[in-house]
């Protein structure tokens, strides 16, 4: 066949080809497309002429793909699927986000999310939020969540993710603790203080403090130690005067403003944390998940 330099004039030809390839019959394709079998056959023939290759081997009863036809079918099927997804996305974007939205967050998550929920509800009154505050490592797909906010390793090929703004760790203590025990002037002084330690509930590991010299870290040199697996408990224990607390800035900020805690002016290496919002990978992102992801990424940790 002589190859034509003209582009394919219409997706209608591609659609007729794909339906024929999947039905292995012009008659079967005609029933799906709502036209005659003869019209389908002529449309496919024009496509073959345009491409300059034979896509089907024909007999009196059946048709089957040629090698070139199989390769072309794989690409065309993907194109049609992408067009379908694009159409669905546009249709969904015009819809009011609604329905139940299940979100998993760490226990500490209420500190940074709850202050924004009234605004979210005003913007999207038809979304019913179902929030699960837990430090257990949930499986977003198997456990039936629409989205999760978590920190740490994000290695899961089934998920999409978007990073939220970083937060910083601060060292602080209650004013009456400082009055009694004094303010540590350097890292060595921490050996004379009770340093409250956080243990990760999932791994059991203690979150170390970022000291340049590990031999001088609180884990090795302090006189007493209290460890727990809840960062809120670290905050409460520090307020009660049981030791120095090393915690996220968003957790300590209100207590510092109220005078319940004071920041320790000790030079420490920069220590940041990072939360991300994750959701199942899908060609069609539902409106309720889309607006939630956009909302938290524009509001949290700014």
Predicted confidence (pLDDT) per residue in 103-155, tens digit: 999 989 999 999 999 999 999 999 999 999 988 878 888 788 999 998 876 66
Residue partners of 245: CB distance under 8 A and separation at least 6: 171, 172, 173, 196, 234, 235, 237, 238, 252, 261
Q: Please name which of 40, 45, 42 lies closest in space to residue 69, comparing C-alpha atoms.
A: 45
pLDDT at 223: 45
Q: How confident is the model at residue 177 (pLDDT cuts 50, 70, 90)?
A: very high
pLDDT tens, position by position, 189-231: 887 888 898 888 877 888 877 665 544 455 544 444 688 888 9
Q: Please name which of 260, 289, 288, 302 lies closest in space to residue 112, comparing C-alpha atoms.
A: 302
Q: How far apart are CA 135 and CA 251, in angstroms?
A: 16
Instruction: Using the predicted structure, report yes or no on whether residue 87 has a pLDDT greater than 80.
Output: no
Structural domains of the chain, with CATH = 11-93 (1.10.10.10), 99-166+274-299 (3.40.190.10), 167-272 (3.40.190.10)
Whole-angstrom CA distances from 282 to 47, 91, 100, 141, 299 are 32, 16, 18, 12, 24
pLDDT at 2: 46
Fill in the DSSP letter of residue 202: T
Phi, psi of 171 (to 5 degrees): -100, 125
Task: Give start and end residues of each alpha helix (H) in the chain.
Answer: 11-23, 26-33, 37-51, 67-93, 110-113, 117-123, 175-181, 218-221, 231-239, 249-257, 287-299
pLDDT at 115: 92
Tell me the whole-structure pTM to 2 decimals: 0.62
Q: How far apart are CA 8 and CA 14, in angstroms?
A: 9
- With the C-alpha atoms ordered 116, 117, 118, 120, is the resulting torsion angle positive or negative? positive
Q: Tokens 């605004």, residue?
A: 119
Q: What angle do CA 19, 21, 25 make, to 5 degrees?
A: 80
Phi-psi region of 206 (alpha: psi -120 to 50; beta: other; left: phi over 0): beta
106, 167 contact by CB (below 8 A): no
Q: How far apart are CA 92 and CA 102, in angstroms?
A: 19
Q: Tokens 């990072």, residue?
A: 274
Instruction: Using the predicted structure, report yes or no on whether residue 269 has a pLDDT greater than 60.
Output: yes
């Amino acid at each position: 066949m002589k190859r034509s330099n003209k582009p394919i004039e219409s997706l209608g030809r591609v659609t007729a080809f794909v339906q024929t390839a999947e039905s292995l019959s012009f008659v079967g394709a005609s029933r799906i497309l709502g036209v005659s079998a003869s019209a389908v056959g002529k449309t496919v023939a024009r496509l073959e002429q345009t491409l300059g290759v034979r896509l089907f081997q024909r007999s009196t009863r059946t048709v089957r793909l040629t090698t070139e036809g199989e390769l072309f079918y794989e690409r065309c099927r993907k194109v049609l699927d992408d067009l379908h997804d694009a159409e669905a996305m546009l249709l969904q974007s015009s819809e009011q986000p609604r329905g139940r939205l299940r979100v998993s967050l760490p226990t500490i998550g209420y500190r940074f999310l709850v202050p924004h929920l009234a605004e979210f509800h005003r913007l999207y009154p038809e979304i019913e939020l179902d929030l699960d505050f837990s430090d257990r490592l949930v499986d977003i797909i198997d456990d039936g969540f629409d989205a999760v906010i978590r920190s740490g390793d994000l290695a899961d090929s089934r998920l999409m993710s978007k990073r939220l703004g970083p937060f910083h760790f601060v060292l602080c203590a209650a004013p009456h603790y400082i009055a009694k025990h004094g303010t540590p002037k350097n890292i060595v002084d921490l050996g004379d203080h009770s340093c409250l330690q956080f243990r990760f509930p999932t791994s059991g590991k203690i979150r170390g403090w970022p000291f340049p010299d590990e031999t001088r870290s609180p884990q090795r040199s302090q006189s007493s130690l209290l460890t727990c697996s809840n960062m809120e408990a670290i905050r409460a224990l520090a307020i009660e005067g049981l030791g120095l607390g090393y915690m996220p800035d968003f957790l300590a900020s209100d207590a510092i403003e109220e005078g319940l805690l004071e920041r320790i002016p000790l030079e420490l290496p920069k220590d940041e944390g990072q939360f991300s919002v994750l959701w199942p990978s899908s060609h069609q992102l539902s409106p309720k998940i889309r607006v939630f992801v956009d909302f938290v990424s524009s509001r949290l940790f700014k």
